[in-house]
Structure formats: structure tokens, C-alpha cells
A and B are shown apart, each in its own frame.
Chain A
């Protein structure tokens, strides 16, 4: 359940910071896909997990920068720009895979991440392996979402950032540069989505295939709405999603006569239902997806 949830947690952490500054990036999906291929490729050729995650994050940052230029500096419609980013990531990851690995009959794989094996602690029944038996990247992602909560609600910079998301004009009047904050937030969002994508290939599947994320980026965006722009609430949403996913995966193996797509559909459907129930009364940052023009 946790490995399935972690890519979404990473992506949602970044997107949450992004949206708190007023930038909606629907391109997370595409950025995650770029992260999957860059992470996989780096790991495959260098064998360095650290480099794999780092490069995936940097690639995500660069793609997010494109969204930042379009939506912050050029004041393009963020939904349109984000959708373009999604398509770029989607197409580019598929093409890159073919270009880098050719057409294998048996897809290349990498070794899964080593899990921590702390003596004593991991041997505690049930909670032992869950709490202490994860891989290092998992702890990094979980730490990031907790730190993000602290950052947004307990630091000066976090308050400034949320002001930018609520009313950039007021922010500017109080000496906070909205443009700079929005750029930084969007790039952080890209970095974390890249990490999330890399986690998927490196720690979960061990291989790359076309459209690997299958909508995880959009689920991350949806779970931010569910979490009402609060990191810890969003984390809960991600974990529940992970549990639902694993549940249906398990059920599926017991009903082989039913097409697997039928089960694969449910987690997405659950998201729609949850959003319909929650979204009506959720209030996001007041200036979300609204471009800021100085002095206008």
C-alpha cells in the first residue's frame, strides 16, 4: 500500500506548494512520466540511486520551468499550459524509452531499492516492517510532506508564499515578490513530481512501460482538493488511495473471469465520488490559477 501511495505523495507535496502560491500545474502527470524515464535510465546505466532520483528531480524542475514561464511571465491560461506540459511529458517519455532502449521483447529491468533492515525494530510484528522496513527514498518523501506542512504554516517564507496564492497584490504591497515566489513554488512542484515518477520505476515496477503513471498525477491533484490544501490531510488521502488500489488488486486475483480493467477502474471512480462530496465546500487559495499582472 505504501509503495503505491509514495509516488502520489511526492507529486502531491510539490503540487500543493505550487497551488498554495496560486499556480495550478495540471502537467504533473507529464512531469511524473519524465521522472519515470529519467530515473529508470540513470539507474540502469549508472546504478546510482541517488543520481537517479536527483536527475529525475532536475528533469521535472526543467519541465515545470516551462509551465512557469508560460503561466507566470506570459500569463497563459494555466489549465491549457498544464495540459500541454502533460502531453509533452507523455510523448517525450515514450519516445525517449524507444530511443534509449530500442524495442526489447523482454523489457530491461533494474534491481528494486534495498529496504532498510533495522535489527529488532523491523521484527516487531505488523507495524515493524511498515514503519522501519521501507527504503530510504520512502523516508525522504514522507519527510518532505511533513516538512512542507511545517514550511507552509510555521515559517515566514511559508506565510509569504500563501499570501501570494491568496492575493499577489497584497503580497507585493507587503514587500513580497509574487513572481519570484511563484517561480520557486512551480519549480519545487516539478522537482517533487520528478522524484515521484522516479520512485515508481525504481522502487515499484523496476521497469518502464508506456504511460506508466496512468493518471497518478491527476490523482495527486485531486487529492490536494480532498486535503483542502493541507499537507497532512492530503497525506491521509494518498494513503487511503494506496489502500484502495491494493484492495482492488487483491480482489482482482480472485475473480479472474472478470476483465481486470473493471477493477482497475475503481480507484479512479472513488476519486470522482470523493471529490464530488468534498469539492463543493472546499475553498482553495483565492488567486489559484489567476495570473498576476503588476500594477493592473
Chain B
């Protein structure tokens, strides 16, 4: 792949990326979320057309417009969500779209050929079972076999271990090693350090759409990879901090939370958020941060453990009750959770507090108070909008976020849970939101800041803890902040493997 550039509205996903793949190798592509790894591979597989650049196969320039073109060139891809029909048997899934056969399905003939392929690649899958009856690892095996059976020489796997147990993952790696010996090229997209060290022959690291490192396995160390992935530039922006007295604590102890699929998303986590501090939670997205926040706010049931707000157990309380006790929440999903898009700002302003004075008096909503509050948010936070009666949907993302942050922070509170509050904001808005958080800290409120942006956490936090696979690290105090050290923790170094 030569000089591949792919942009989406407003973002350059890949910027003049070069990538060479050879037979008999496992090539790992590493990078943070949004670094452009998946986009690059989707270009190779014909899911996206590149804006610029060429793809050469065996020295010949090729045009890959659809996955079918890619398959014809021997390029196959296994996505995180599999391309398998759940209600069909594995065998039927292999038969979809076959050409040149008779009108009637000839499944026994196909089965014999798949069984031969199973032996060749050392993958055994029960072909007669329905896909929905298979475990995730079995589905993945079926999908890999399908891709190989369709003639792939280059096998691309997008985060293949994200849903596997360690045992299943090492079985997968063993298979990948054997494909390599048979002359295949295996491309592994991942952000897990140990996987690279275990299986890679070569590593390419992408950061913000550019290749920042391309090297053989022998030449890299964990710290080189971490530095390449995270970048070294420390943020220049400083926020004035004052010593704030710590007068109370939001205490999380041995909290376990289940994820959407019933898996353990947060496992027995313990930490405290003190008033007068910003506690940052670092970690690559999907390591349990979302579930943790939802459990604290009251949007998700916790399995076990305690959440105590200044000594009072709030784990079983309704969201409103938690808010009444002094918790505010800036959700990451601002359009879905932060506001009602089709309602005017006035209504959105009173939403968090519609049950309390001055917004509600004797069961009647006081829109005068709501309008006043909306105006206050708009002027204090410099929200650009036509008026307080503008629909929330008419605001840009940054202004919407300023409005939400204003709503959550202008009312008296004691603790704020902020979830990626600056994601997608421009520099000025980002700076403003961070400054507001630090101001709140200085005013003696406790802030739990979950962020995927390590620079942000280092800029504003008093302490940082790292979340990895549902576990949390011990807090790192501000004077010991070290980007590389925290980066290694984010990639799982130092966590006991589960």
C-alpha cells in the first residue's frame, strides 16, 4: 500500500500511509483508537475507497472497489462482528453466494471440501451446528476458516482477541503461527502490547493517521512501542491550581459491574474521589470505563460492592436520588444522553433539576426559572446559539457540550462525573471545559474524569488511575505522572493477567 490517504468529513483517518506485507509473516498494526488502523485495512479490503494512493499486489497496481475484488486478489478480513448468518448452519454459511454449481444446493460435496480445508489449516469447526449455538471463539474459528477457504493469502484480523479468554487467544495465536508457516500473510490489528510481543514478526505503529514506527519484532521493546503509540509531546497548557481542602469522599469499594453481554466489565474495583481533587481514569476505551460510570451514576446495576457518597450508601438509589445528594453527570453521549435534541434549550436546562426548586413548585414547572437558568448557562459558558428557545439540535457539538457542562456545573453540587467531556471539541472549547473542571476542583468539588486522552488527564488530574480489562491500578499522584509509565499500564503492563 503506497501513500494511502483516506479522509472522512472533518477528519484525516489515514495520511499518506505506506505499508508492505510479505508472505510468511505476522504483521501487527498497532495504534490508539482513531489512529487509522481499521480504516487502512478497510481500504485494503475494499470497504472504503482511498482518496489517494495505490495498492500493489505482487508489484502490479490494482483497484479494489468491493470486498469481492479483494477476495479475488486473495485478501480476506475477519471483523469484530462476524459476517456469519446466525440462523444458518456453519456449512450453509460457507455455501452462500457460490457460483457455477447446480440449481440444487450440493452441501455434502461442499462439506467434504471444507473438511479437507479443516485438516489443512488445523481448524476444526462443527459444520452441522447453527452459528448462533457457537461460542464467540468457535464463530471466529468458523469465520477464519471461511476466509481461508475462499482463497485468502492475506488474512486480516481486526482486534481478534477482544472478546476471547486468554486460553482461546493463545489457541488462536497458535493457528496464526501455522498459517504463517504455510506462506500466508497474517495482519493483526490490535492495541494490546503483549499480543505484539507474543506473535509479531513485524510491527507498524500508527498515530493520528501517520506511520510513526515500522520495525521488526527483534528491534522493539515495550517502551519503544508505548512511546510510538502515545506520542511524547506533553501538553503545554497549564491550569491554575489552588490547594483545595478535602472535606469529603465519594468512595467506591470492591465494585463489580456486568457489561451488556453479561461479561464482567468492572471487577472488584476500589478507589476514592476526594472533594477538591480531579481523579483521572485513564485507559483504552472498552476496558470497563463506561460500565463503571454508569454504575456510579445509577444507569447500570452493580453486581456487588459499595458506592458511598460521604458515608451514605447510594448503590441502590435511583439516579434522581443520587443527583439530589450532590452528584452531577456529564455523559459522553451528549446527543443521546445529554440533551433532548428536539426540545429548546430552556427545557434542556431544567431537565436535570425539574424535580426541585426553583424549577418545580407545587408540582408545577416554572419555565420562568428555566429560561433564566438557560440564559445564565449561555452567557457564562459562551454558548453560541440563536436564543435560549433554539432547539438543542441546532447547536454545534462544541456548543452543545458547553451547554451540558454549564447545566451540570452551574448548579450547586459536590461531585461531578465527566465522561470524555472534550471528545470531538475544538481547541478553544476543550480548553474552556478543562478550565471549568479545574475551577470546580479549586472550589472544593470532587471530580471523576474519565478520558481516553492521556494528555488531558495529565494536564488536569491530581491523581490518575488506569483501567484495564475491568481492573483499576493504584492511583499515580500528580508529581509522579509519567506518560510512558501510564501508557504501559494502559496497555496492560503490570496488571495480573486474568
Is B365 engaged at the interface, CB distance under 8 Å to the other chain? no
Please determine whether A176 and B96 come into contact, CB atoms closer than 8 angstroms. Answer: yes
A-B contact count (CB 8 A): 59
| Bound Cα distance from A173 to B72, whole angstroms | 12
- Report whether A170 and B99 are in contact in the complex, using a CB–CB cutoff of 8 Å: no
Q: Tell me the complex Cα distance, A171–B264, Å.
A: 33
Give Cα A175 to B101, complex, Å: 14
A contact patch SS: helix
Verify B96–A171 contact, CB threshold 8 A: yes
CA distance A195 to B96 in the complex (A): 31
* Interface pair A159/B67, CB less than 8 Å apart: no
| Number of B positions contacting A (CB below 8 A) | 23
Closest-CB distance, B240 to chain A (whole angstroms): 46
Which residues of B, 40-69, contact A by the 8 Å Cβ criterion?
47-48, 66-68
Partner of B104, one of A155, A172, A283, A295: A155
Instruction: Report chain B residues within 8 Å CB of A169.
Output: 83
A sample of 24 inter-chain contacts (CB < 8 A) reads A154-B104, A154-B105, A155-B105, A156-B98, A156-B103, A157-B103, A158-B105, A159-B88, A160-B97, A162-B85, A162-B88, A163-B85, A166-B85, A167-B85, A169-B83, A170-B83, A171-B97, A172-B66, A172-B67, A173-B68, A174-B96, A175-B68, A176-B96, A176-B97
| Other-chain residue from A154, A160, A283, A286 in contact with B96 (beta carbon distance below 8 A) | A160
Number of interface residues of A (CB under 8 A): 22
Bitwise, B86-114 to A at CB < 8 A (1) or not (0) is 11100010011111011111000000000
Whether the pair A156, B68 counts as a contact (CB closer than 8 A) is no
* CB-CB under 8 A for A163 and B96, given A170-B83, A173-B83, A175-B68: yes
What is the minimal beta-carbon distance from A163 to any residue of chain B, in angstroms? 5
Q: Which residue of A lies closest to B101 (CB)?
A: A156
Taken together as a complex, chains A and B put the C-alpha atoms of A169 and B92 apart, in Å, by 16
A174 in contact with B97 (CB, 8 Å) = yes
- The residue on B at minimum CB distance from A157 is B103
- When distances are taken between beta carbons in the complex, the residues of chain A under 8 Å from B48 are 295
Determine if B104 and A159 form an interchain contact, defined as CB atoms under 8 angstroms apart: no
Chain A residue nearest in CB terms to B48:
A295
- B250 interface residue per 8 A CB criterion: no
Q: Which residues of A contact B47 (CB under 8 A)?
A: 295
B84 at the interface (CB under 8 A from A): yes
A295 contact set on B, CB distance < 8 A: 47-48
Residues of A within 8 A of B85 (CB): 162-163, 166-167, 170
- Residues on A with C-beta less than 8 A from B95 are 156, 159
Are A163's CB and B104's CB within 8 A?
A: no
Per the 8 Å Cβ criterion, residues 49-85 of A in contact with B are: none
Task: Report B-chain residues with C-beta under 8 Å of the C-beta of A176.
Answer: 96-97
A173 x B67 contact (CB < 8 A): yes
| CB <8 Å contact, B105 and A159 | yes
